[in-house]
């Protein structure tokens, strides 16, 4: 009998990185799809910073993963059995199938994807949730327009790399903040950013002043903490801050300091708005038409960091996101 290898949440983690005591890896019999259902075989499981929040109790934009449930995750794979009128065996699909090798689905929230446009793993990356986040966050929330200076933190990652590239396509000056010389070099040489700032090299403020001689019009904030605080005084009047993520706080073991420079929101009349990509879902087709065309034309490069080890490697691979160990969209080949 073929088996489904699953990763289930069994214990809420203490603050900090996740550890294997919170998860149980089990082999379970592969289920047969019922009427109106299909079964997919996962090929790539997406690892996303938000996962650290999904396993915590408390108010958020989605309910926490329940104890005993398969860990929530996007994954991409192939339909291998179907009683669903719209999904055929062999279809390539992406959805919230969880950290497991096989999943049963009724098709809700599942997208069939075209691997002629880009390989399957890109549909959980640049043509998936991170790509949509960059697109809507920059253009709808950040309201970036030609001539703006756009700063993005966690710039070499899944979302950040695309924010900079889309900013360039829209005629903006793109400045990325990343950790270390290798990532910073790639921002300029591969992604085409105008400038890169290494937050690990010290004096972030002076580096930003040099990289943004005309100030900052749009901050695409992925990190928060000291990075946000250093950006705030450098924002231009009527600038926009799209708060996409606060990754510096996700694994904090003490209460992170609030932004001390919040007064610039007042004095510079800034607009600061949180964004959750799912709020824009009704326009996903519009965004995907642009993103897909840019990928096909070679105008958008997708940096992917695909790791081996299957679902067993979930915990150690996820933690790479909070320590800067990934370089591009992180996923597990399963
Ligand atoms: N709101 C939404 O709907 C939505 C959707 C998707 C993603 N997001 C958010 O977008 C952000 C980026 O996500 P992603 O999937 O693209 O991840 P990613 O950028 O591919 O990977 C995370 C990166 O964050 C950086 N980082 C981690 N801890 C840091 C710290 N303490 N200080 C500075 N940088 C740190 C690391 O890069 P360095 O090596 O440069 O430090 C790491 O490689 C996250 O905050 C995530 O929560 C939000």
C-beta 223 within 6 A of ligand 1? yes
Tell me: the pLDDT tens digits for 47-88?
999 999 999 999 999 999 999 999 999 999 999 999 999 999
What is the tens place of the pLDDT at every residue in 221-271?
999 999 999 999 999 999 999 999 999 999 999 988 889 999 999 999 999
Q: Is the pLDDT of residue 1 over 80?
A: no
Please state which of the four CATH numbers 3.90.76.10, 3.80.10.10, 3.90.280.10, 3.40.50.720 is assigned to the domain occupying 130-278.
3.40.50.720
C-alpha span between 68 and 8 (Å, rounded): 6
Q: Which CATH architecture has domain 3-125+302-333?
A: Alpha-Beta Complex (3.90)
Cα 9 to chain center, whole Å? 21
Dihedrals φ, ψ of 144, to 5°?
Answer: -65, 140
pLDDT above 80: residue 284 = yes
Is the Cα torsion angle 288, 293, 295, 300 positive or negative in sign? negative
- 267 burial via Cβ count (<10 Å: 0-12, 13-18, 19+): exposed
Q: What are the domain boundaries of the chain?
A: 3-125+302-333, 130-278
Secondary element (H or E) of residue 330? strand 329-333
Pairing relationship of beta strands 102-105 and 38-46 according to DSSP bridges:
antiparallel
179 lines ligand 1 (CB under 6 A): yes
Helix (H) or strand (E) run with residue 294 in it: helix 284-296
Mutation probe of ligand 1 site: the residue of 16, 17, 49, 198 with most atoms within 8 A of C-beta: 49
Indicate which residue's Cα is closest to atom 20 of ligand 1: 157
For residue 324, the CA-to-ligand 1 centroid distance in Å is 8
Any atom of ligand 1 within 6 Å of the Cβ of 277: yes
Convert the pLDDT of each residue in 135-145 to its tens digit: 999 999 999 99
Q: Whose CA is nearest to atom 31 of ligand 1?
A: 248
């Amino acid at each position: 009998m073929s088996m489904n290898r699953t990763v289930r949440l069994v214990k809420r983690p203490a603050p900090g990185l996740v550890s294997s005591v919170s998860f149980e890896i089990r082999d379970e019999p592969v289920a047969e799809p019922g009427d109106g259902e299909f079964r997919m075989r996962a090929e790539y499981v997406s690892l996303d910073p938000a996962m650290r929040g999904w396993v915590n109790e408390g108010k958020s934009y989605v309910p926490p993963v329940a104890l005993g449930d398969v860990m929530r995750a996007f994954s991409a794979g192939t339909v291998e059995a179907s009683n669903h009128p719209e999904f055929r065996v062999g279809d390539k699909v992406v959805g919230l199938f969880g950290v497991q090798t096989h999943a049963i689905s009724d098709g809700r929230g599942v997208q069939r994807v075209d691997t002629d446009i880009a390989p399957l793993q890109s549909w959980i990356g640049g043509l998936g949730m991170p790509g949509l986040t960059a697109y809507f966050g920059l253009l709808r929330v950040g309201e970036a327009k030609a001539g703006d200076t756009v700063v993005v933190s966690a710039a070499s990652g899944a979302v950040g790399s695309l924010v900079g590239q889309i900013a360039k396509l829209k005629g903006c000056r793109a400045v990325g903040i990343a950790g270390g010389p290798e990532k910073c070099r790639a921002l300029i040489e591969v992604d085409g950013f105008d400038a890169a700032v290494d937050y690990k090299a010290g004096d972030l403020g002076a580096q930003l002043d040099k990289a943004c001689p005309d100030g900052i019009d749009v901050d695409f904030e992925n990190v928060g903490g000291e990075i946000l605080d250093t950006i705030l005084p450098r924002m231009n009047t009527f600038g926009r801050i799209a708060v996409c993520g606060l990754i510096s706080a996700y694994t904090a073991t003490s209460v992170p300091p609030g932004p001390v420079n919040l007064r610039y929101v007042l004095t510079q009349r800034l607009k600061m708005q949180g964004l959750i990509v799912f709020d824009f879902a009704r326009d996903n087709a519009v965004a995907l038409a642009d993103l897909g065309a840019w990928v096909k034309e070679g105008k958008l490069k997708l940096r992917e960091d695909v790791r081996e080890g299957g679902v067993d490697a979930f915990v150690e691979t996820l933690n790479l996101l909070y320590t800067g160990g990934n370089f591009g969209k992180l996923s597990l080949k399963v």
